Amino acid sequence: MDRHPQHAWSRVLVIAAAAAVATQCTPSRPESRRSGGAVQSDLAVAAQKTYVAPGDLDEYYMFSSGGHSGQVYVYGLPSMRHLSTIPVFTPYPATGYGFDDDSKKMLGDLTWGDAHHPALSETKGDYDGRWLFINEMNGRIARIDLRDFKTKQILGPVPNLHGNHASSFVTPNSEYAMMASRFSRPVPQRPVGVDKYATEYKGIIAGVKIEPTSGEMSLAWQILMPPFDYDLGDAGKLASDGWMFFTSYNTERATGKLEVTASQRDRDYIAAVDWKAAERAIAEGKFDTIDGVKVIDPKKVPGIVYLLPCGKSPHGVDVAPNGNWIVGSGKLQGVTTVFNFEKIQTAIRNKDFTGEEDGIPVLKYESIKDAEVPVGLGPLHTQFGTDNWAYTSLFVDSAIAKWKLGTWEVVDKAPMSYSIGHLSAAEGDTVSPDGNYLVGLNKLSHGRHLSVGPSQPESSQLVDITEEKMKLIYDAFTEPEPHYAQIIKADKVKPIEVYPKEENKHPMAVWDVAQAGVTRNGKNVLVKMVAVRSTLTPTDFEVQAGDQVTVAITNVEQTTDELHGFGLLDYNINVVIDPGETKTVTFTAKKSGVFAYYCTNFCSALHQEMQGYMVVK
């Protein structure tokens, strides 16, 4: 908060305002509707803590998965203001994403993706503010560059792996982002009847290598797994660096009505993967190549994967900041289990196994667990604060439980409005969490906002965790569909404001209106266009019907926020070019006639004059 001391007075005003709201509640507007029943002083404190005065900046960025919207939403904390939308797996007309040649190519045939778990890049187990990775169910993973908040790469759909839910968890030095299949299927892919599920279908865990300077991702290896549904994961850190943990359900290998058939066993598993051992196995040639991918079969290469029995149908698995505790939540239970990494290692050394699944040893539950913490019903995900505090979301109880690592006592519970799913704490899955804010990402919400019809506004709730008791301090609308989010200190992210001219190496860039114009090569027409306040040059061009037209637009501005657009009517073309950027769009001039193009982004008093014509003869 010391970032903005000059505005302390505005907080005082707000306290007064909030207090006034609390006292003005009339019987026709029940207090519960306005304030959730909170008393006046609590409201005033909450208002003070979340109020970011006009012109002030938030302390944190929160990167929130947009689920099947295919996007990432950026929020500021503690104001909970929606700052930006980063399109990733879905076209987004507001930024022209999915319309220009490069982003269109990146999306490929899929204009939809179901994004789940954003993962910030890390150095020594701490967010470093370079990249954000996010997975998607169609076997893909994307990289967003935090220098310009744009999607730079989409890897996949990768072969063999189907339904990439247990992803994109990043290792402590961003060596890997991980993938794992929620849906098993025959590997290699071929039509085999579901009646052969238990034997012929396989799960897949994959390591996606991240190039350390460019962030470029490549599929490094896969591990052939039993046909369980791999659900969530987390990378080991410090004590457990080099390991990855994935929860799995349907270890019954059942099909059909899974709500019944996959809930038969008392325990499912967490798969513990020694990814450094996997790297060594690959280097030693111990793999089969399936559909072009190096695949390790644990039956042939022991010592890479172990199974930890965990409470029925586990969802989240979360590694504590010290790396030694691994928290696995069986979502059909009232406890969450804490495993001890040292004990896991001892059990592996002593071959303290109770069985195996497709050649993968199952460790003895009693030998590897430290505690079963009675957090409450339906534990899903755990995040961490300072001083060994842990926070677990409880879906069934609709609450967050606060408990202590080491002593295992549950000390507080904060109700959430409706069925919390994930939760996210400020830097809460790094080696040094901040312990001040926690956001509950609720799966359902009703009555928290004005009704807008059958689809109720989603609600995320900001919780103050600086004191003994957790305090709900803000209810914010979240764009659907909320899954996981990560919260990083704002000063770790250093976005640029313009693309420097000297960095623009685009072969079709033109910086001078004198070089703008049309060149023809057979049926291929190239229009090099300059966008600068307040003209798109050339202001008109002619092509022949059937020509293949490429328009390459360079925005030669070097001024913050001076974006220009290129909207070409009736041709479904909408490109947005940031200052210093060159973008191309290629199309066939199918329709003849006259078509206007114009700048879509307000840029100056003469923005409306920024227009031209394409004549198709």
Minimum Å gap between C-beta 569 and ligand CUA is 15
Q: Is residue 585 within 8 Å of residue 599, measured between CB atoms?
A: no
Nearer to ligand RUQ, 232 or 473 (CB): 232
**The binder of ligand CUA chosen from 607, 611, 613, 615 (CB under 6 A):** 607
Considering only residues 272 to 301 of the shown chain, the ones binding ligand RUQ according to CB under 6 A are none
Site string for ligand CUA, 520-559 (x = CB under 6 A): ----------------------------------------
Calpha distance 33→484 (Å, rounded): 28
Residue ranges in 157-196 that form contacts with ligand RUQ under rule CB under 6 A: 165
Distance from C-alpha of 205 to C-alpha of 304, rounded to nearest angstrom: 12
3-state secondary structure 386-421: CCCEEEEEECCCCEEEEEECCCCCEEEEEECCCCEE
What is the size of the binding site for ligand RUQ (CB under 6 A)? 11
CA-closest candidate to residue 273, choices 243, 238, 301: 243
CB atoms closer than 10 angstroms to residue 583: 25
Among 68, 140, 185, 483, binds ligand RUQ (CB under 6 A): 483
Place of tokens 């982003």: 103
Q: Cβ of residue 107: shortest distance to ligand RUQ, in angstroms?
A: 22
Residue 505 makes CB contacts below 8 A (sequence gap 6+) with none
CB of 450 to ligand CUA, least distance (A): 34
CA distance 526 to 423: 50
If one asks whether residue 305 binds ligand CUA (CB under 6 A), the answer comes out as no
Helix (H) / strand (E) element for 19: namely helix 8-24
Binding residues for ligand RUQ restricted to 362-381, rule: CB under 6 A: 380-381
Tell me the β-bridge partners of 50: none
The item of ligand RUQ, ligand CUA, none sharing an interface with residue 116, based on CB under 5 to 8 Å by kind, is ligand RUQ
Which of the choices ligand RUQ, ligand CUA, none does residue 86 contact, using the CB cut-off of 5 to 8 A by kind? none
Residue with tokens 């909207």: 567
Question: Does the footprint of ligand CUA cover residue 424 (CB under 6 A)?
Answer: no
Piece in contact with ligand CUA (CB under 6 A), picked from 170-178, 198-206, 355-363, 599-607: 599-607
Residues in region 189-248 near ligand RUQ by CB under 6 A: 232
Helix, strand, coil shares of the chain, percent, nearest 5, are: 15, 45, 40
| DSSP class of 456 | P
**Closest distance to ligand CUA from the beta carbon of 553 (Å):** 11
Q: Does 576 bind ligand CUA (CB under 6 A)?
A: no
130 or 443: CB nearest ligand RUQ: 443
Buried b (16+ CB within 10 A) or exposed e, 222-245: bbbbbbbbbbbbbbbbbbbbbbbb
Give every CB contact of residue 196 below 8 A, 6+ residues apart in sequence.
none
Strand ranges in 494-581 using DSSP code E only, listed in sequence order: 517-521, 524-532, 535-537, 540-543, 548-555, 564-568, 573-577
Choose the one of ligand CUA, ligand RUQ, none that binds residue 303, judging by a C-beta under 5 to 8 angstroms depending on kind.
none
CB 155 within 8 A of CB 177: no
Contact with ligand CUA (CB under 6 A) among 527, 564, 571, 574: 564
Q: Choose between 143 and 422: whose C-beta lies nearer to ligand RUQ.
A: 422
57 binds, among ligand RUQ, ligand CUA, none (CB under 5 to 8 A by kind): none
- Exposed (0-12), middle (13-18) or buried (19+): which is 610, by Cβ within 10 Å? buried
Closest approach of ligand RUQ to the CB of residue 401, in Å = 15
Nearer to ligand CUA, 404 or 607 (CB): 607
Residue 74: closest CA among 487, 522, 517:
487
Under the criterion CB under 6 A, does residue 602 sit at the interface with ligand CUA? Answer: yes
CB of residue 568 to ligand CUA, shortest distance in Å: 14
Strand partners, 314: 330
Asked if 315 touches ligand RUQ (CB under 6 A), the answer is yes
Select the binding partner of residue 602 from ligand CUA, ligand RUQ, none (C-beta < 5 to 8 A, by kind): ligand CUA
Residue 117's binding partner among ligand CUA, ligand RUQ, none (Cβ under 5 to 8 angstroms by kind) is ligand RUQ
Give the residue with the Cβ less far from ligand RUQ, 463 or 549.
463
* Residue ranges binding ligand CUA (CB under 6 A): 564, 599, 601-603, 607, 610
* Residue ranges binding ligand RUQ (CB under 6 A): 116-117, 165, 232, 315, 380-381, 421-422, 483-484
